[in-house]
Chain A
C-alpha cells in the first residue's frame, strides 16, 4: 500500500489553515487504512513552517526551499511535487482546492496518469476503495466518486475542522533538482483587492439578489427598495456582477466580500458554496427561492418557497408601512 502525501500551502510565510484541514483528512484516512502520512512544504524560506507542520500532524515532512518557490509558478512547483511523489510513493495525494491547488493538481494527475477528483468535502474508506464526496451542478447535487489508485484529490477549504493535535513528525530536505529549471510561466505580482464603492462588511442588513433577477433594472425596482426601506445595503451573487448589472463591490462570496450582517436576505440565489462562504456566518438568514430544494435553504434560518417578484415587493411595502 502507498502512503498519503499532502501538499502544504504557505500564505504570508505561514502554513495555511486549509493545510491543517488536509492533515485532518489525511489522519482520518491513515487511521482507517494504516497508510503513513507525508507532507510537502515548499517555498523560498520554509524551514520554520515545515517544523510547525511536523509538530502538528504533518507526519514525515519533506522540505523544499528555493528562490524560485517564493511565489506559485507552475514549472518549479510541479517539479517539486513530482520529486516528493517519487520520495514518498503515495497512492493518495491531497491538495487544497485553492487557486494554487486547482492550477497544479489536475496537471500533476495528468503527468502521473493518475485519477483525479476535485473540490471534495469528505472522503471515506469503503473496503479496499476510497470514496470521495463532492458537489455537482454548483451545489444542486452530490456525488460519491470512486477513483482507482493512485489518486490526486483537492479538498474544499472549510469542509472539515483543522487538525489541532500534536505529533512527532520529522523534517527532511527534499532535493527536487530545481537547478536549471526554467519556469515557462512568470509570476509578476499579486494585486490585493481594491476597496472602492460600497463596503458591505459594515452593513447590518444586506438584501442580495441573484441571476434570476434577470437584469440591472430589476435590482433597482425590486432589491434596492427593500434594502432602502430596511436601512440596509444591496448585495449580489457573482453572475449579477459578471453580467455587469452591478459593480464588483456588491458581490458576496469567495471572490467578493465576506459579510456577516445581523440580517442577510437572499432572493433568487441558489446557494453555491462560493456564495455561501461569503454569507453563512450572518447572524440571521432569510432565503426566498422558488425551488424548495435550493441549497440556500440549508444555511438559512427562515425560508420562503415562492416567486421573489411577489414576496419582495410585498415585504418592502410592509416595512415602509411599519416605519411610516
Chain B
C-alpha cells in the first residue's frame, strides 16, 4: 500500500496578516509558517494506516525553500519520503495549476490512495483535492471524519451540515480529503526527528514534471485582483477603559437585558 499525502505550508494561525502594498497577497516576510491544519489530520490518518498494517507514506508539497521545514516535520512524524516541488515557475498557480503539478507527482508515484486536507487555511479554496482526483482519473470523496480500510475499499464517514454524517464507500485507487478533528495528531518524537535526518527530500522543478508553461501565474485562470481587510460595517460598540471600567459597563448591559 502506498499513500501520497499532499501538504501545504500556510501562515501560522496566530501570524499577523498584513496585506502587501499592491494588494496582491499578504506579506510573507517575518511571519511563522506551519503545516495546514487539515493536512496534519490527513497525514495522521496515513500514519495510522502505516502503523496498522504497513504502508509507504510519501508526502508532497509545492512551495519555496521554507517548505523543507514542513516536510522535515512530516518525516519526523513518520512519513517515509518527501517530494518538494520547488520552482519559481510554480508560484502564482491557481488551484487548477496546483492540482496539475500534484497530478504529475501522483502519476509518477501511483499511490493506492491520496490523502489531502479538505482545504487550506490561507486561501480556503477547498478545490485542489477533487481537481487532482479528476486529473488522475480516480474517484474521490471530501470532508472525511472517519476512514476505515478493508480489502482495498475505504468506508468514509463524511461530514454534512449540522453534524450529520454520510457514509460513502470507494475502492482504491482513490483520493480522500480530510476534515479537522478526525484524529489526535501525533507530535514528531525526538527519535523520529533524528531518523528523519536520514530520510530523503527529493526536489522537482516544473520542467521535471513536464509542465513547463502550463502552470504558475501566467497560466492561472483566476487572477487575484486584490485582497483587503473586510470592510467595517457598523460593527460592535467597543468598550474602552480599564478592566474594571469595562466590566462595570458589561455588568450594566447584562442587567439591562434582565439577565441578572
Q: Which residues of chain A have C-beta atoms less than 8 A from B195's C-beta?
A: none
Q: B159-214: which residues lie under 8 A (CB-CB) from chain A?
A: 159-171, 174, 180-181, 184
Assess whether A185 is in contact with B170, with CB atoms less than 8 Å apart: yes
Say how far A171's CB is from chain B's closest CB, in angstroms.
Answer: 28
Q: How far is the CA of A272 from the CA of B140 in the complex (A)?
A: 27
B61 interface hit (Cβ, 8 Å): no
Q: Which residues of chain B have C-beta atoms less than 8 A from A189's C-beta?
A: 166-167
Q: How far is the CA of A256 from the CA of B222 in the complex (A)?
A: 33
Q: How far is the CA of A315 from the CA of B255 in the complex (A)?
A: 13
Say how far B138's CB is from chain A's closest CB, in angstroms.
Answer: 8
Assess whether A284 is in contact with B127, with CB atoms less than 8 Å apart: no
Assess whether A118 is in contact with B126, with CB atoms less than 8 Å apart: yes
Residue of B nearest to A99 (CB): B160
Assess whether B125 is in contact with A118, with CB atoms less than 8 Å apart: yes
A161 interface hit (Cβ, 8 Å): no
B109 interface hit (Cβ, 8 Å): no
Assess whether B239 is in contact with A144, with CB atoms less than 8 Å apart: no
- With A116-B131, A185-B168, A185-B170 in contact, do A131 and B225 touch (Cβ < 8 Å)? yes
Select B95's contact among A116, A263, A297, A323, beta carbons within 8 Å: A116
- With A137-B124, A255-B161, A302-B250 in contact, do A143 and B226 touch (Cβ < 8 Å)? yes
Residue of B nearest to A296 (CB): B236
Assess whether A304 is in contact with B250, with CB atoms less than 8 Å apart: yes
Select A135's contact among B124, B160, B253, beta carbons within 8 Å: B124
Residue of B nearest to A195 (CB): B163
Assess whether A107 is in contact with B230, with CB atoms less than 8 Å apart: no
A-B contact count (CB 8 A): 255
Assess whether A185 is in contact with B243, with CB atoms less than 8 Å apart: no
B135 interface hit (Cβ, 8 Å): yes
- With A111-B134, A314-B244 in contact, do A143 and B224 touch (Cβ < 8 Å)? yes
Residue of A nearest to B161 (CB): A254
Assess whether B121 is in contact with A137, with CB atoms less than 8 Å apart: yes
B227 interface hit (Cβ, 8 Å): yes
Assess whether A302 is in contact with B161, with CB atoms less than 8 Å apart: no
Assess whether B139 is in contact with A74, with CB atoms less than 8 Å apart: yes
Annotate B8-49 by CB proximity to A: 1 below 8 A, 0 otherwise. Answer: 000101000101000000100000000001000000000000
Residue of A nearest to B221 (CB): A115
Q: How far is the CA of A298 from the CA of B247 in the complex (A)?
A: 21
Assess whether A311 is in contact with B126, with CB atoms less than 8 Å apart: no
Annotate A96-123 by CB proximity to B: 1 below 8 A, 0 otherwise. Answer: 0011001111110111011111110000
Annotate A118-144 by CB proximity to B: 1 below 8 A, 0 otherwise. Answer: 110000000000010011111111111
Residue of A nearest to B15 (CB): A137
Q: How far is the CA of A211 from the CA of B144 in the complex (A)?
A: 22
Q: B46-61: which residues lie under 8 A (CB-CB) from chain A?
A: none
Say how far B152's CB is from chain A's closest CB, in angstroms.
Answer: 13
Assess whether A145 is in contact with B167, with CB atoms less than 8 Å apart: no
Q: Which of A23-31, A172-180, A217-225, A235-243 contacts B (4 or more CB under 8 A)?
A: A235-243
Q: A278-324: which residues lie under 8 A (CB-CB) from chain B?
A: 283-287, 292-293, 295, 297-298, 300-306, 310-311, 314-315, 318-319, 322-323
Assess whether A107 is in contact with B170, with CB atoms less than 8 Å apart: no
Q: How far is the CA of A314 from the CA of B242 in the complex (A)?
A: 11
Interface size class of B (residues with CB under 8 A): 35 or more
Assess whether A248 is in contact with B163, with CB atoms less than 8 Å apart: yes
Assess whether B222 is in contact with A106, with CB atoms less than 8 Å apart: no
Assess whether B163 is in contact with A256, with CB atoms less than 8 Å apart: yes
A164 interface hit (Cβ, 8 Å): no
Annotate A130-167 by CB proximity to B: 1 below 8 A, 0 otherwise. Answer: 01001111111111111110010000000000000000
Q: Which residues of chain B have C-beta atoms less than 8 A from A148's C-beta?
A: 221-222
Which one of B37, B155, B246, B251 has the greatest number of beta carbons of chain A within 10 Å? B246
Say how far A189's CB is from chain B's closest CB, in angstroms.
Answer: 5
- With A99-B166, A110-B134, A116-B222 in contact, do A141 and B26 touch (Cβ < 8 Å)? yes
Assess whether B139 is in contact with A190, with CB atoms less than 8 Å apart: no
Q: How far is the CA of A205 from the CA of B260 in the complex (A)?
A: 11
Q: How far is the CA of A257 from the CA of B142 in the complex (A)?
A: 22
Q: Which residues of chain A have C-beta atoms less than 8 A from B99's C-beta?
A: 110
Assess whether A303 is in contact with B237, with CB atoms less than 8 Å apart: yes
Residue of A nearest to B126 (CB): A102
Q: Which residues of chain A have C-beta atoms less than 8 A from B250's C-beta?
A: 286, 302, 304, 315, 318
Select A192's contact among B127, B130, B164, beta carbons within 8 Å: B164
Select A106's contact among B11, B127, B230, beta carbons within 8 Å: B127
Residue of B nearest to A307 (CB): B243
Q: Which residues of chain A have C-beta atoms less than 8 A from B226's C-beta?
A: 143-144
Q: How far is the CA of A147 from the CA of B142 in the complex (A)?
A: 24
Give me the interface of B with A, judged by CB distance under 8 Å: 11, 13, 17, 19, 26, 37, 94-96, 99, 121-135, 138-143, 155, 157-171, 174, 180-181, 184, 221-233, 235-239, 243-244, 246-248, 250-251, 253-255, 257, 259-260
5 contacts between A and B (CB under 8 A): A109-B127, A116-B95, A138-B124, A141-B228, A255-B159
Given contacts A189-B167, A255-B161, A304-B239, 7 further A-B contacts (CB under 8 A): A136-B227, A142-B230, A187-B167, A192-B164, A255-B159, A297-B238, A302-B239
Give 5 nearest A-B pairs by CB, closest first: A242-B181, A193-B163, A303-B236, A115-B221, A184-B139
